[in-house]
Structures are given as C-alpha cells and as structure tokens.
Amino acid sequence: MKSKPKSKQVKTKAKAKVVEEDFRDENEIAFDDVINSSEEEEEDFDADIQDDDEFEVKAEKYRRRMLAQKQLADAEQQEDIDQRTSKVTPLEDHETEGVQLYEQTHTAEELRDRVQEIVRVLTNFSDEREEGRSRAEYLELLKNDLMELYEYNEFLMDCIMRLFPPSEVVDFLEAMEKTRPTTIRVNTLKAKRRDLVQTLVKRGMNIEPLEKWSKVGLQVFESNVPIAGTIEYLAGYYMLQAAASFLPVMALAPQEGERILDMSAAPGGKTTYIAQLMKNTGVLFANDVSAPRCKSLNANLQRLGVTNCIVTNYDGTGYEKVMRNFDRILLDAPCTGTGIISRDKSIKTSKHYEDIQRSSQQQRSLLLSAIDACKVEGYIVYSTCSFLVEENEAVVDFALKRRNVKIVEMGLPFGRPGFTKYQHNRYDESLEQSRRYFPHVHNMDGFYVCKLKKISQEVPKEPRAVEKNKGKGSEKRPRAQEEASPAAGKKRKTDASSNISIPPKSTSRTPAPKKKSKSKK
C-alpha cells in the first residue's frame, strides 16, 4: 500500500522536471529572441522619440539621452577643473595662442580668469612665478588682456598701470565700468535741505543725504519723475551736480564780501555753489572762453537766484590783463576727462600722448594767469577731472618753480595724497597736501584738487629749483631734471615735470648792431 504512492510521486516529479526544463528552454529561446530583436533595433534608440513608440523603447531612448548628457557635462567640468588648477596657464596659454593667428580664442570669462591668475602670481611673484619668466612678461600679458577685456588703447592702459599695483588696476577698471551715484546739491539761497527732502520724497524720489562731509548734498537712488523736470528744479531749489564737483569749492572756502573769480565757470555748478556760500554778498566773476556755454551759465545763475555774479567771456590765459587782485580764484581747468570715463566711454580710445601734452601746456598757462590775477596772500584752487599726473602734479610743480606760491592744507576730510614721485620725475614734497579721488576708493569720478597761497607778486627770472641748486651740493627735495641756464647757448631746456621742450629765453631782445666798417664794405 505504501510503495505505490511513492512510485507515483517519482513519476510526477519526473514529469514536473521535464515540464520545467521545457519551460526553461522556451523562456531562454524567448529571451534570446528579445535580445536579438533589441540588437537589431539598437540603432533606433538614438533616434528622436516618436509618439507611436512602445513604452520600453521610449524609456530606453530617455535613458540613453540622459546618460550622454551626463557624460558630456562631466567631461566639460573636468576640462574646466584642469584649466583652473593648471599652474602654467597664463604664459603658456598665451604662447599656444600665437599659433592661432586669426582666431578669437577667449571669451570675457576666460580673460577674467587669466587676469585673476596673473594678478595672483604678481602679488607673490618670487614663489608663484614660472622658472625663467620675468615680471615684465607677466605685466605685458596682463596689459594685453586688460586692453582686450576693457577696450582701452595702449597709451591709457600704460598710464593706469603706472599709477596702481596690479591688483588695484583691476579694481579701478571695474569701477570705471559702473555709473556713479546721481547726486544733487541743495540751493540754500532758496531752500533748506530737510524741507527739500520731504518735498521730493512726496514726488516719488528715493533720496538720502550724501555723506557727513557735505551739508548740501543729496543722493538719488531712484525716482519716479525726471530729476531735472520737477517744479523744485525749475524753481532753482537744487542743482544736478556730481559729488566730486563739491570738493574744489569746499577747498576754496569762499567768505562773505570777498572778490572771487571762477576762471572756467560754465555751466555754473561750482559758480552757483560759491555764490551760495557767499550768501549773495561780495562780487563773483564767472568767466568762460565759450560764448554758447556762457548762455547756459547765465540761465543757471538766474534759475538759482544768484545776484552777486558778473559773467565775462575772455580767454583765461592772460586774464590778469583784464582784472586783478582777487581774494580767491577757482581754476577747474579744461582737461582730457580721463576721470569721467564712466560717463563717456569714447575717452578709452580717443586720448593719446599728443592730447595729454596739449592739455598740459594749456593748463600751465591758465594756472600762471590765475596766480598773476590773485592778490598777495590770496588763494588759488586748481582742479581737474583727470587722474593723469601730467595734468595734475606736473602742472602744479611747474607753477611752484615759476611763481612765489606755496601749497596749503585744504581741509578736505578724505582723499589720497598727491604724488611726489612718478617714474623718473621728482616733484615738490608739499604736493602731498594735494588730494586725489578715485572711483574704486571713494565711489566718485576721478578728480584732483590742490590749493595754493600766493606769497608775493615777484616773478622769478629763473625757476626756483635752479636758484636753490647754485649754492648747494644737495637738495632736500630732489628735482627730476635740472633746467639749463640762459648761458647754455642755443641748447633747448626740458621742464622737470614733463617731456615738453621749452626754448631758452634770449638774453637780448634785439640783435647786436653791426660795425660801421663792415656795413660800409
């Protein structure tokens, strides 16, 4: 009874085993068919996804597409890491570019990365430099990259790189690309700052006091109305004026009842500020060489309610022949405007060496005329909207040698001191009392201000530096170049503060008469 069921179990197990093997074979055959079919259709997975594709086909196409994108992203990331971490990128990358003569190989981002790397090397040159590479090579590559990135001409870029260390050069150029804050000056002849702020806020202006150093300045962050189109502007309650333009007038410090000259007055921002500080007392002369600009000057004087001003239209050079004995004179000299590149981008490529020399020569003549027109113990303030030494310290140093004046403190609460050394030139040490303003440091236009005091009316026949060196072997304040005396014959003399050649003064105005015997022959 028990053996029979065992045999049946064995038979059933054998049958089940055969069925299982048959099923396994069928499954293997079916699986191979699927694999073979997928291999036949493998090239279709790279095609676009179609609406009539089966679900499995769509999923495979998505998977392959995502995998390809991931591989591409990983490759780009690794390439970027290799480029950024490579030690030899700056100079070797530049040398490899020399092979590709006609291709633009760098984007702005790549140039910024390379500039940053060069600056890093230059700040710690002894440890970071490549072997066999000089500092001049790095500086030349930095200059070329900055010229391409910020679109300056070579002359201006050279001037900027002489003024600042490499890390500060980049900060300066970046600041020049940004616009300066909009500022207005309250006309205290007609309004008070607190009342004007309340009125302008109601008109939709976001406005705040400028800084602690100015009691009349306001900074406009945004406005729903035109700043120069409000009733208050037309009524003369305020004047649109850059913050840097406040500084020369503050240095001049005009007093009530004085006789003051603004030698280059148009369009009238500084002139009206002087009249405001004088409280419409005394006499203020506003001069400008341009007749059309004198019209805009007159319009601003009338709009702001200035009543103590007389407008003249003369060339500033030789103004001492028209009027003299002024208590204070402001000379905001015409210049190349390199400090206001943020407002006029064309200056980057339009200014060259010849323009600087021409402007410097004009500024020297204007400053000497201003000193001659000022009374003894009077003050002259010289200012420009330029950061170039040739238009600033070199001009003032020229005047110090040819007139009896000295530099005095201006009382301005901030600003960098002026240069006393620039390349091979050595200027008067008192020029440290002048002030420079830069956009990346003070968030205002590039500006220069210097205040002079007239000591006497006498005009030295020769530059004072020559007279000092006659009896002394050494000077406490060295000069860059000594000027030749008139006895040097026909040789030309070069001024110590620039490369402008000045012909020597002749010792006699008329030629010596010929002998009678020779004239008879």
Distance in angstroms (rounded) separating the CA atoms of residues 296 and 288: 11
Closest listed residue to residue 412, CA positions, set 125, 189, 187, 214: 214
The annotation status of 267 as a binding-site residue, yes or no, is yes
The answer to whether residues 329 and 370 touch, using CB atoms and an 8 Å cutoff, is: yes
In this prediction, residue 103 carries a pLDDT of 45
The annotation status of 269 as a binding-site residue, yes or no, is yes
pLDDT band at residue 488 under the 50/70/90 scheme:
very low
Is pLDDT above 80 for 42?
A: no
Active site residues per annotation: 385
Is pLDDT above 80 for 479?
A: no
The annotation status of 268 as a binding-site residue, yes or no, is yes
The answer to whether residues 169 and 160 touch, using CB atoms and an 8 Å cutoff, is: yes
Cβ partners under 8 Å of residue 434, min gap 6: 392, 393, 396, 407, 410, 417, 418, 448, 449, 450, 451
pLDDT band at residue 61 under the 50/70/90 scheme:
confident
User: What domains lie within the chain, and their CATH numbers?
Assistant: 108-177 (no CATH), 181-241 (3.30.70.1170), 243-454 (3.40.50.150)
The annotation status of 167 as a binding-site residue, yes or no, is no
Is pLDDT above 80 for 494?
A: no
Is pLDDT above 50 for 236?
A: yes
* Other CB atoms within 10 Å distance of the CB of residue 389: 26
pTM for this prediction: 0.72
pLDDT band at residue 367 under the 50/70/90 scheme:
very high
Share of the chain above pLDDT 90, in %: 62
In this prediction, residue 169 carries a pLDDT of 95
Q: Per the omega criterion (within 30 degrees of 0), is the bond before 504 cis?
A: no
In this prediction, residue 508 carries a pLDDT of 39
Residue 421's DSSP bridge partners are 426
pLDDT tens, 371-429? Answer: 999 999 999 999 999 999 999 999 999 999 999 999 999 999 999 999 999 999 999 99
CA 239 to chain CA centroid, Å, is: 25
In this prediction, residue 145 carries a pLDDT of 93
Residue 405's DSSP bridge partners are 454
Q: Is 314 exposed, middle or buried (0-12, 13-18, 19+ CB in 10 A)?
A: middle
Closest listed residue to residue 454, CA positions, set 394, 374, 520: 374
The answer to whether residues 447 and 241 touch, using CB atoms and an 8 Å cutoff, is: no
pLDDT band at residue 444 under the 50/70/90 scheme:
very high
Closest listed residue to residue 168, CA positions, set 426, 385, 436: 436
The annotation status of 44 as a binding-site residue, yes or no, is no
In this prediction, residue 108 carries a pLDDT of 87
The annotation status of 315 as a binding-site residue, yes or no, is yes
The residue ranking higher by pLDDT, 92 or 47, is: 47
**Interior/surface letters 327-338, b for 16+ CB within 10 angstroms, e for the rest:** bbbbbbbbbbbb
Three-state helix/strand/coil letters over 4-56: HHHHHHHHHHHHHHHHHHHHHHHHHHHHHHHHHHHHHCHHHHHCCCCCCCCHH
